[in-house]
Structure 1
Amino acid sequence: MPKAKVDREQAEVRGRRAETIAAWWLRLQGWRILARRVRIVGGEVDLIARRGRTVAFVEVKQRRSEQTAAWALDEYRLRRVAVAAERLASRFARTGDIVRIDAIFIVPRTLPRHLPNVWHG
């Protein structure tokens, strides 16, 4: 099997593991997971979660350090989440809900870091 394909598959497994960790972290904080890995034309969302009247479209980043995770959360990726959130909001949010885009960093040997409302575009 070509190395690039193996690398992509390993990255996929790591990404799914990070999303599972992030989903459990959110659950421990009182969130309910509404959907995982939602893809639509123009964007995708790793997790969609609700707590009370807030619906969060969550981008999950797993890296070796928080700094590299923050660098991986660039405007391009956030814009894709924003496009997906805009198109999916009517499916997951109700009238009067607060809809926002959050991020969660998964870094080895540390608790997940949840960053609320990271997109203001």
Structure 2
Amino acid sequence: MSGVRQARGAASRLSGRRAEVLAACWLLAKGYRILGFRLRTPQAEIDLLALRGKVLAVVEVKRRTSLEVALETVSFDQRERLRRAGAAIVAGRPRLAGVSIRLDLMALAPGRLPRHIPDAWKGS
């Protein structure tokens, strides 16, 4: 792998981590409790797992040029894997019994405030 390609990959990973931290801070300010960062499950990797009241948000964080691009970036198959991953986490944690699981998007674009979209893919 070329040095340029390695540097680009490292910069991309760092940008993604920064986006996740910023998204977590934004959710904390909105009253969510962050239960996990980059949770690896057999079904999928969850960027953020956040709880507010009886709603468990499985949050996908995307840093893109626009909200529309961020929404389109998450495929139907990925959304299904994230839903299954959220259900598996709830099944394995008795303290989460009774919560409803929701798939949210945190979209970040250069020069703009983060945008939290609860239930971003409702009905799909």
Same topology, TM > 0.5: yes
* Matches of 1:43 and 1:18, distance apart in 2: 19
- Does residue 95 (structure 1) correspond to residue 97 (structure 2)? The answer is yes
- Does residue 117 (structure 1) correspond to residue 119 (structure 2)? The answer is yes
The equivalences for 1:1-121 within 5 A come to 2=2, 3-92=4-93, 94-119=96-121, 120=123
SS across alignment from 2:96: coil
**Displacement after TM superposition at 1:64 (Å):** 1.9
* Matches of 1:52 and 1:72, distance apart in 2: 29
* Matches of 1:19 and 1:91, distance apart in 2: 24
* Matches of 1:44 and 1:108, distance apart in 2: 24
* Matches of 1:5 and 1:88, distance apart in 2: 34
* Matches of 1:90 and 1:109, distance apart in 2: 39
**Displacement after TM superposition at 1:13 (Å):** 0.6
* Matches of 1:7 and 1:76, distance apart in 2: 27
**Displacement after TM superposition at 1:66 (Å):** 1.9
5+ long unaligned stretches in structure 1:
none
Q: Greater shift after overlay, 83-92 or 50-59?
A: 83-92
**Which string of whole-angstrom CA distances, capped at 9 and with x for unpartnered residues, describes residues 53-94 of structure 1?**
111110000012222222212223322312321221224562
CA RMSD of aligned residues (A): 1.8
Aligned pair count? 121
Q: Greater shift after overlay, 16-25 or 101-110?
A: 101-110
5+ long unaligned stretches in structure 2:
none
- Percent identity, aligned pairs only, is 35
Q: Which residue identity lines up with residue 107 of structure 1 in the other structure?
A: A
Q: Which residue identity lines up with residue 117 of structure 1 in the other structure?
A: D
Q: Which residue identity lines up with residue 71 of structure 2 in the other structure?
A: A
Q: Which residue identity lines up with residue 116 of structure 1 in the other structure?
A: P
